[in-house]
């Protein structure tokens, strides 16, 4: 099978492609296009199975392809739709895309990364760290989960949802990351988690608090 035929046959399952601001971590407040892939390897997305899943506090709907601009795409069409979402919203040439999920590394490959780079996108990825990668992303955010294998142990930004009691936060800071963020777990005890996060970061550098400002602003 020729390369062109392979590109045409490959299909990416996408939950949604939408414009917003990055609400978490280092790039908080930056305008972005989010490309959310379907599927995760730590939870199947069904509420009835959440309690028994490896990750039981996910706040994201990544099931199916029924979100805004969602669908099954070949490479060319996926990049084309992504460009349209950016160009329809922003005039800036500083194109910023966040590949997220679910777990995007279940689907993202070198062909997609190469194609997005040719369109001058700065490519950030948000991953749970279970899958190693050598793909040429511009920014890697790893958010490990305490009951899952943690295989990708280097990147640009480490974001630990807090509290997760199995993590030794004092040892983690020796890993190969530029920035270390604690993000309060979004649950019924959210206010308590926020205060715990702030207090821990005050006395334990280089940890810095990360807040989901998009939720505070009431946007996606």
pLDDT in tens, 30-81: 999 999 999 999 999 999 999 999 999 998 999 999 999 999 999 999 999 9
Tell me, yes or no, whether 186 lies in a domain: no
Residue 135 is part of which domain span? 10-158
Name the pTM for this structure: 0.92
Instruction: For residue 69, tell me if it sits in a domain.
Output: yes
23 within domain boundaries? yes
Separation CA 47–CA 35 (nearest Å) = 23
Burial pattern 169-200, b for ≥16 Cβ within 10 A else e, equals eeebeeeebebbbbbbbeeeeeeebbebbeee
Per the document, the length of the chain is 220
CATH number for the domain that contains residue 84: 3.20.20.70
Residue 42 located in a structural domain: yes
Tell me which residues are annotated as active site.
Answer: 34, 40, 55, 58-60, 126, 214
Counting DSSP H helices and E strands in the chain, the numbers are 6, 9
70 falls within a domain: yes
Tens digits of pLDDT across the chain (220 residues): 455 444 445 799 999 999 999 999 999 999 999 999 999 999 999 999 999 999 999 989 999 999 999 999 999 999 999 999 998 777 667 899 999 999 999 999 999 999 999 999 999 999 999 999 999 999 999 999 999 999 999 999 999 999 999 999 999 999 999 999 999 998 777 899 999 999 999 999 999 999 987 666 666 6
Q: Classify residue 5: in a domain, yes or no.
A: no
For the chain, how many structural domains are there in total? 1
Establish if 137 belongs to a structural domain: yes
Q: Cα separations (Å) of 200 from 56, 158, 163, 172?
A: 23, 16, 10, 14
Residue 205 lies in a domain: no
Q: Cβ distance 162 to 144 under 8 Å? A: no
User: Would you state the pLDDT for residue 152?
Assistant: 98
């Amino acid at each position: 099978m020729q390369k062109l035929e392979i590109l045409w046959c490959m299909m990416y399952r996408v939950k949604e492609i939408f414009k917003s601001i990055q609400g978490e971590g280092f790039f908080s407040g930056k305008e972005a296009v989010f490309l959310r892939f379907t599927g995760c390897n730590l939870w199947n997305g069904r509420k009835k199975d959440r309690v028994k899943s490896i990750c039981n506090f996910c706040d994201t709907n990544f099931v199916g392809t029924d979100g805004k601009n969602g669908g099954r795409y070949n490479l060319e069409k996926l990049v084309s739709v992504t460009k349209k979402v950016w160009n329809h919203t922003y005039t800036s040439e500083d194109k910023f895309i966040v590949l997220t999920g679910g777990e995007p590394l279940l689907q993202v490959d070198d062909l997609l990364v190469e194609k997005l780079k040719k369109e001058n996108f700065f490519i950030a990825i948000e991953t749970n760290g279970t899958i190693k990668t050598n793909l040429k992303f511009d920014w890697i955010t790893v958010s490990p989960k305490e009951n899952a294998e943690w295989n990708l142990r280097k990147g640009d930004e480490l974001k630990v949802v807090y509290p997760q009691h199995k993590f030794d936060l004092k040892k983690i800071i020796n890993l190969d990351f530029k920035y270390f963020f604690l993000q309060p777990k979004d649950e019924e005890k959210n206010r308590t988690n926020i205060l715990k996060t702030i207090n821990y970061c005050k006395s334990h550098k280089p940890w810095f608090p990360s807040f989901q400002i998009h939720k505070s602003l009431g946007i996606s």
